[in-house]
Structures are given as C-alpha cells and as structure tokens.
Amino acid sequence: MELTKTQYEALKSNGIESVETIEENSFSEACYNGNCYEDLENYETAIADSVDMKQWGISEEDWRESQKTALQYAMYWYEDEM
C-alpha cells in the first residue's frame, strides 16, 4: 500500500505515528498487502469483518488494531521515500 501526501498528512493530523516493522504472516501484514488506504482509513468506526475475525482467530479489537498497524507501516514507508 502506498500513501499519498494528503493521506499521510491526514493520518499524522489524527495523531497516528509510523511503525518500522510489522509481524510477518499476521492480519496486519495481510491488511497492508491486500488493501488500499480507503479500505482501512475508517478502521475505528467500520463494522469488523466477521469472516476475517474467524479466519485469523482475532477479536474485533484485534481487527481494528491490525488495520491501524497496516496504516502505520504504510506511513513508515512513505517517510522512508521522502
């Protein structure tokens, strides 16, 4: 997932900080690799996907946190490319 400057700035303005690593073979990694910013940007208010939660064996809180982590990892790569 690549971020635009506007997307990056929106995340920063919401107090979200980048993370340098992401756990391999995790739902966070799947979110990062399989989604775009628009799919994840409303992670706090989106209805958690019960199929994802069952498949990955995660709670609704984990589902949301994984999406946030995917965005934070995208922020790290945006910063690295700046």
Digit-coded pLDDT (tens) for 5-59: 999 999 999 999 999 999 999 999 999 999 999 999 999 999 999 999 999 999 9
Cβ-contact 20, 80 below 8 angstroms:
no
> H helices of the chain, where?
5-13, 27-34, 37-40, 50-56, 60-81
Query: Confidence class of residue 81 from pLDDT cuts 50, 70 and 90?
Result: confident
- Tell me the C-alpha to C-alpha distance, in Å, between residue 73 and each of 9, 15, 20, 57: 14, 14, 6, 22
| pLDDT for res 50 | 97
pLDDT score recorded for residue 56: 97
Q: Compute the distance between CA of residue 71 and CA of residue 28 in angstroms, rounded to an integer.
A: 9
Counted domains in the chain: 1
Residue 31 is part of which domain span?
A: 5-81
- pTM to 2 decimals? 0.94
Look-up of token digits 């919401």: 14
The residue with greater pLDDT, 77 or 81, is: 77
